[in-house]
Structure 1
Amino acid sequence: MHAIAVSEPGGSEKLELISVPTPQPGPGEVLVRTQAAGINRADILQREGHYPPPPGVTDVMGLEALGVIEALGEAVSGHEVGEQTLALLAGGAYAEYFVVPAGQLLSLPQGIDPLVAAGLVEVAATVVSNFDHVKLGSGQTVLIHGGAGGVGSFAIQYAKALGARVFVTAGTQSKLDYCRSLGADEGFDYHEDWHSAVMVATQDRGVDVILDIIGAKYLEMNVSSLALDGRLVIIGMQKGTRGTLNIAELLNRRGTVTATNLRFRTPEQKAQICRRVEQVVWPMISSGQIVPGHQTRVPFDQAARGHALLESGEQMGKIILVNS
């Protein structure tokens, strides 16, 4: 089969189409023929050599996919060959076929183009698991960094569905307008003093929850933006891995700083998150309460172009690779 591989760590030009053996499903696993795969920031980090896959997982990138089941491993029930499915992966979606534990398969939300759904799996699983983790609820205020991206555009709508007041940061006026069109109450240009703007908008109270994809660069400002008993959850490190934490300020705010990832969770944990997405998010998608964000589709063999587009900072919403 064909797969997208990295010749050596580096830029998007290091991606190449190669031939590799087709994987075979083991007990509890299924083999899926890939129809589409989402591109995520984690893929770029892996391509650059900063985010290797968990032990025992293929080096082929790709954390979410749409496909058709081709074969069932031993002891798999509830699925059948020929079934179209979505999948949450630890790796492997940038290929013609991938193997995944059956518990990490998801049904398709009703009434949605399957290709659109292909770009929802990772963002929905990330946002739902993290907002559950920090207990975001009705009447609270959340600040979402990178509001115009794939995670951000979903997080805005899910937070609004939970009854939260939503603030975002983004880099251009068009992106801020896009975030507002999705339901954001306030938007701040991250090139400017967004921390002061947050404090003005909250009358110096701060926000209850921050969902952060940036990492070290924003650590001090994030803590300073928390309300009493506020929670900062870090899910990315686009701008560094080492920051300075003012412990006194964190104590004064009774704040919590936590960091999570999805890729390194156990199959059992991922299966639970998948069921949560099916039960909570898919009905919101099908009813129109959450509208899938902007999506850009790139041919499978042009993965390098997809990566370059994501890195350009010009993209709004999600990029997916489509296997014709």
Structure 2
Amino acid sequence: MPETMRAIDIKGDIGPAESLYMAEIPKPVPKEAQALVRVKAFGLNRADIMQRDGEYPVPPWAGKIMGLEFSGIIEELGENSEPSFKVGDEVFSLTYGGAYAEYVAVSTHMLIHKPAQLSWEQAAGIPETWLTASKIMYMIGEFTRGKSILWHAGASGVSISGIQLSVAGGASAVYATTRSDEKCDFCVNTLGATAAFNTTDPNWVDQVLKATDGKGVDIIADLIGPDVFAENLKIGAKDARIVLIGLMSGTTFKKEFDMGLLAFKRIRYEGSTLRSRDEEFQRKLRDKFVSEALPDFLAGKFKIYIEKVYPWEQIVDAHKMLETNKTMGKIICTIN
């Protein structure tokens, strides 16, 4: 009989938060170049909720257990693993899935050494949001110093990371949108955004255009989807890059939009996910993060904002908290 471990599973494979439960499943065995990591903490992401609801196309190699980021301790290494890692090392990482468990098997090409200055909770809250924000800005958005950028859902994990990266990267202006004045204040006064706009105000598009002297924004990080598609075309500058990486408003258009703006402004609107990218892509993204962003965490320049930490036995409550859309930072679960 294979050795087993505890993991969070979904009753019936699809369901609401209440369908999450603690299951006993086989403990993974590390394959070529993989490490077996004992998980200390894992981060929650909206992709987890979409997977739980049956609305996320999970890569076939990912398995059914949720969880895209974690921190923990290496307990075993497969053959030909990266030589910089050894048993007992404290690490954090992205993973294709499986982090809602006592153990996860992950390629050593995706692992990052955890600095002693970072707690397990902080480290678990970094990979998905910070690597996604880096990808949006540099790999797809073609950000360079002096460009302007807007982050929708400004108090979400990805945008909290992205706003900090944008300020540090020398953006000419950093904007955000939220659905509450409290979150707008957080984006400006805590994160350092130039301005933030409450999208419950019907005039928010005009406010963005006024702030940019009618020019519009060079790069837009869209975590919302259909509900802001028409508005993105209006606030995008000429040759703007709009990166779709979230679908908080669903997948179906409910209002008309002016397609002409897409052509006349020469806007490039590109969708992207991180989970479906191959290991080589994720390795390059990891290396860029380690060389360029991680030192700023150690220097105190970047901060991981955590809304709340739950013991993983309270996973149902943690998912419900994420679903409220009221958080201003990561939700983390710990395993004792």
Q: Normalization by structure 1: what TM-score?
A: 0.97
The residue aligned with 1:66 is 71
Worse overlay, 230-239 or 103-112: 103-112
Structure 1 Cα separation of the partners of residues 205 and 55 of structure 2: 29
Amino acid paired to 1:157: Q
**Helix, strand or coil at the partner of 1:276:** helix
Cross-structure match for 1:11: 16
CA distance in 2: counterparts of 1:276 and 1:101, whole angstroms: 17
Percent identical across equivalent pairs?
Answer: 35
Match of 2:320 among 308, 312, 317: 308
- 2:187 aligned residue: 179
Q: Which residue of 1 aligns with 2:284?
A: 272
Report the CA distance between 1:162 and its aligned residue. Answer: 0.8
Give the whole-Å Cα distance in 1 for the aligned partners of 2:19 and 2:229: 32
1:198 aligns with 2:202: no
Secondary structure of 2:97's aligned partner: coil
Does residue 146 of structure 2 align to residue 139 of structure 1?
Answer: yes
Q: Which residue of 2 aligns with 1:150?
A: 157
Q: What TM-score results when the alignment is normalised by the length of structure 2?
A: 0.93
Question: What are the residue-to-residue correspondences of 1:64-143 with 2, within 5 Å?
Answer: 64-76=69-81, 77-109=83-115, 111-132=117-138, 133-143=140-150
Contact 1:142/1:167 (<8 A) preserved:
yes
Supply the distance in 2 between the matched residues of 1:126 and 1:107 (Cα, whole angstroms).
19
Which piece of structure 1 moves more, 236-245 or 296-305? Answer: 236-245
Choose which of 313, 318, 324 in structure 1 pairs with 2:330: 318
Contact 1:107 1:278 in 2 (8 A): no
Report the CA distance between 1:135 and its aligned residue: 1.3
What is the CA deviation profile of residues 141-165 of structure 1, one whole-angstrom value per residue up to 9, with x for unaligned ones? Answer: 1110111111111111100011111
Aligned partners of 1:219 and 1:275: how far apart in 2? Answer: 33
Higher mean alpha-carbon deviation, 110-119 vs 69-78, is at 110-119
Deviates more, 1:242-251 or 1:262-271: 242-251
The one-letter amino acid paired with 2:10 is V
**1:108 offset after TM fit, Å?**
2.0
Aligned residues: 324
Matched residue type, 1:41: R
Are positions 1:24 and 2:36 aligned together? no
Alignment partners' CA distance in 1, 2:313 and 2:114 = 25
Unaligned runs of 5+ in 2: none
Q: CA deviation at 1:59?
A: 0.5
The worse-fitting range, judged by mean Cα deviation, of 55-64 and 188-197 is: 188-197
Q: 8 Å contact 1:109–1:283 — kept in the other structure?
A: no
What's the counterpart of residue 252 of structure 1? 264
Equivalent pair of 2:306/2:332 in contact (CA under 8 Å)? no
Aligned mates of 2:250, 2:307 — CA distance in 1:
27
Where does residue 209 of structure 1 map in the other structure? 219
Structure 2 counterpart SS, 1:20: strand
CA distance in 2, matches of 1:110, 1:162: 26
Q: Is contact 1:153-1:182 (8 Å) kept?
A: yes
Is 2:293 the counterpart of 1:281? Answer: yes
1:110 CA displacement: 5.7
What is the deviation of 1:323? 0.6
What SS does the aligned partner of 1:313 have?
coil
Match of 1:170 among 178, 183, 187: 178
Deviation sequence 1:73-95 (CA, Å, 0-9, x none): 11113211111100111100000
Check the 8 A contact 2:307/2:327 in 1, yes or no. Answer: no
Say what the alpha-carbon RMSD is for the aligned residues: 1.3
SS at match of 2:26: coil
- Paired letter, 1:66: S
Quick check: 2:89–2:113 contact (8 Å CA) kept in 1?
no
**Matches of 2:57 and 2:217, distance apart in 1:** 34
Q: 1: distance between equivalents of 2:120 and 2:42?
A: 11
Question: Could you tell me how far 1:109 is from its partner in structure 2?
Answer: 4.2
Q: Distance in 2 between matches of 1:273 and 1:310?
A: 26
Q: CA deviation at 1:245?
A: 5.6
Q: For residues 159 and 79 of structure 1, what CA distance do their matches in structure 2 show?
A: 31
Letter in 1 for 2:251: T
Distance 1:99 1:91 in 2: 9
Q: CA deviation at 1:270?
A: 0.8
Cα shift at 1:172:
1.5
Matches of 1:123 and 1:210 in 2, distance apart? 16
How far apart, in 2, do the equivalents of 1:21 and 1:179 lie?
43
